[in-house]
């Protein structure tokens, strides 16, 4: 069977998994999941992933979901020669794990709060301007200014 990735093409987490697999030289069988048609709520998908989220990876019967967990799994299993991507050194790996956890717990939550209401609802432009002025955008600006101050972004 090989590696099968249940995938939403416009999803950044799905793309991250696809990019890492390509970097590692892995062949993925891509299985598109149409959320708008309810593919993720069908019995056959729920049997694989009861949280009904994408991406979901099936590696010869071993199923894992969440892009962060999938990325770590792929590196641990297939990335042995790619030490620069996910180093064995605990401090270097901790920096990568820190960024993955930050993305999962902080960044995504604020992106969701900021963009989802705009993209998936019919908010008025004045509401959008208010979100920009008072919401997550200010948080992003302040956070990234602090993180990047005097540092080269790689």
Residue 85 lies in a domain: no
The predicted structure's pLDDT at residue 145: 66
Instruction: Tell me whether residue 125 is in a domain.
Output: yes
**One domain, residues 134 and 74:** no
Total domains in the chain come to: 2
Catalytic residue among 11, 67, 82, 117: 11
The pLDDT assigned to 100 comes to 84
Q: Is 39 exposed, middle or buried (0-12, 13-18, 19+ CB in 10 A)?
A: middle
Is 154 part of a structural domain of the chain?
no
Q: Say what the pLDDT of residue 125 is.
A: 44
Instruction: Identify whether 68 is part of a domain.
Output: yes
| DSSP per residue, 94-126 | HHHHHHHHHIIIIIHHHHIIIIIHHHHS---HH
Q: Are strands 3-7 and 28-32 parallel, antiparallel or unpaired?
A: parallel
Query: What's the domain range around 16?
Result: 3-79
83 belongs to the catalytic site? no
pLDDT digit string (tens) for the chain, length 154 residues? 799 999 998 888 899 999 999 999 999 999 999 988 899 999 999 999 999 999 999 999 999 999 999 999 999 999 977 678 888 889 988 888 888 888 777 777 766 666 666 555 555 444 545 555 555 555 556 666 666 665 554 4
Exposed, middle or buried by CB within 10 Å (0-12, 13-18, 19+), for 28?
middle
Which of 47, 79, 111 is where one domain is finished? 79
Domain membership of residue 84 (yes or no) is no
């Amino acid at each position: 069977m090989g590696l099968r990735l249940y995938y939403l093409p416009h999803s950044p987490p799905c793309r991250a998994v696809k990019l890492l697999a390509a970097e590692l030289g892995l062949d993925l069988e891509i299985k598109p999941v149409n959320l708008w048609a309810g593919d993720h709520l069908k019995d056959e998908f729920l049997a694989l992933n009861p949280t009904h989220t994408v991406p979901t990876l099936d590696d010869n019967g071993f199923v894992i979901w969440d892009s962060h967990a999938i990325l770590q799994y792929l590196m641990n299993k297939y990335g042995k020669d790619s030490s620069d991507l996910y180093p064995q050194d605990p401090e270097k790996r901790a920096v990568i794990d820190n960024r993955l956890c930050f993305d999962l717990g902080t960044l995504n939550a604020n992106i969701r709060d900021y963009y989802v209401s705009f993209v998936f609802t019919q908010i008025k432009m004045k509401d959008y301007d208010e979100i920009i002025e008072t919401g997550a955008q200010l948080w992003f600006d302040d956070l990234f200014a602090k993180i990047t101050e005097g540092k080269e972004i790689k």
